[in-house]
Amino acid sequence: MFHVKNWPIILTALVICSFVLYRFIKTIKCQVLSLAFFQPSTVPAMKTNLILFYFSCLYSAYKHCTPNSPATCLLFQGFCGYCQAFSKEKISQLSLLFRPAILFFKPESVEVLLSSTTIIDKSKEYGLLSSWFGTGLLTSPGEKWRRNRKLLTPAFHFSILENFIPVFNDQANILVSKLQESVHEPWIDIVPLMTSCTLDVICQTAMGVCINAQSGENRDYVKAVHDIGNTFMYRGFRPWLYPEVIFYRTTIGKNFKANLQCIQGLTRKVMKQKKAEMASSDKNTEEMEVIANDNCVLGKKRKAFLELLLELHLQDPSFTEEDGHDTTSMALSWSLYCLGLYPDIQKTARDELDDIFQNDPKRGVVREDLMKMKYLECVIKETLRLYPTVPMFSRECNESFTVLGHTIHPGTMCFILAYALHRDPEVFPEPEKFDPSRFFPENSKGRHPYAYIPFSAGSRNCIGQKFAMLEMKTILAYILRRFHITSLDQRDKVVVYPNIILRNVNPLRLHFQLR
């Protein structure tokens, strides 16, 4: 008989086994009804024992994956290799834990999916992010997303975004002073500095407050963002950690909860103050009606981004919008890394800036300057081609649709691999070559509109892409006018992996030298 002291372990094992069995039956039932799992598909797949192949890959990823050692590299590289193997077919299928999935990595197939007005829900796996992002634009389902997107779009009009340029200038100046302190160092990891800078920018523009992240305050936030991404990927390979009742009782779950509280604490503090002001205003109801009628004018000015977020939060407390700075910080980090690798390209970008600013390294950036930074914009675009900040994302197939002659059934997860799409040699010859001239107007003419999607594409593209481009051009303009940049690691030494966004496994080592 079992010893009494073993009963807690036995009961725990029974609970876990029962949950796994429940998930299996639920998944199979769903997919039998949808015909997505058992119905033969004409989408190309590997001619081998798929079950053994996928479980061997998943087992390898599981065996090596820890929060501090991202073995998601293995699965990510496997996906990219899979795309190369089926390059001629332009689409392929695989199965992940009895869940059918389709890989989209060619412009023709990506267009069908992203241009759809009905296949717009994020895949169910995004539910693991709901405790962080709530039901913001990243994770909200179709109809809710349509409503929120419609309300927020006016806040990103260019006439409003240009009012943020002084904030970009102020934070770029602080960043430059930090970089100046590092010139005697052999190298620095640029990512933490960029994360603090873009965090200060988003808080000052979207929330109306300066949190002084670059000055060392709220330093725990930067670490928490990185750790929570690693935990998300770690949890994703362990289905038994999906239920919150189990996950939050583990050490990893407790750390995740602490990081989550750190991340959300600052935002909630500011929103609570602003929300109280708006809730007490007699005009609040009238203002919401004005917004609903597509006229987001308060007096003579459009409403600030924060006010719109708060009004949505008043209507739906589960709504949050906390993404926005981390993708920009990595895009800036990768841009500086690429500039540091290619001195000739760095010089061309700097010469353009010297011409615009008349060799004045300290003058602030204005709107007219940003419009003239044509080559620098091409550098950013080429960086995002090779290192898209969101290297892969997915959609949930809720209804049958046809792509390249193949029928995709409901219940299928549709993966879009931007990382592989941007390396299509038919669209970008010598795809591993860093060449900003690819984005000169004469070279971009006739290119498939879905061949390059650093901000996604279609109706659910990134709402803040113009904001991000203005911010990145401003910050890079400050850095290039003050420093020569050298990257210490060649691209073959840089190992990337998806930590929600595309990161480097090791520090991104750069050296800055005053001009």
Binding-site residues:
462
Dihedral, 136, 137, 138, 140 alpha carbons, nearest 10: 70
What is the spatial order of strands in the sheet that 483-487 belongs to?
Answer: 188-189, 509-514, 483-487
- CA 136 – CA 477 distance, rounded (Å): 32
Torsion sign across C-alpha atoms 333, 338, 341, 345: negative
CA-closest candidate to residue 52, choices 3, 10, 94: 94
Beta pairing partners, 69: 66
Strands (E), 47-155: 91-96, 99-104
Q: Which residues are annotated as a binding site for heme?
A: 462
Question: With b meaning 16 or more CB within 10 Å and e meaning fewer, what string describes 415-442?
Answer: bbbbbbbbbbeebbeebeebbbebbeee
CA-closest candidate to residue 93, choices 44, 155, 29, 149: 44
Alpha helices in 94-218 (DSSP H): 107-114, 130-133, 142-152, 158-161, 165-180, 190-202
Beta pairing partners, 394: 415
- CA 395 – CA 377 distance, rounded (Å): 29
State the DSSP string of 342-391. Answer: -HHHHHHHHHHHHHHHTT-SSPPP-HHHHHH-HHHHHHHHHHHHHS-SS-
Residue 205 near residue 305, CB atoms below 8 Å: yes
Beta pairing partners, 401: 408
E strand or H helix at 514, and its extent? strand 509-514
Backbone angles phi, psi at 453, to 5 degrees: -135, 60
Q: DSSP state, 118?
A: S
Residue 325 near residue 332, CB atoms below 8 Å: no
* Tokens standing for residue 203: 């808080």
Backbone angles phi, psi at 407, to 5 degrees: -90, 125
SS3 312: helix
- CA 277 – CA 279 distance, rounded (Å): 6
CA-closest candidate to residue 71, choices 238, 207, 193, 183: 238
SS3 493: helix
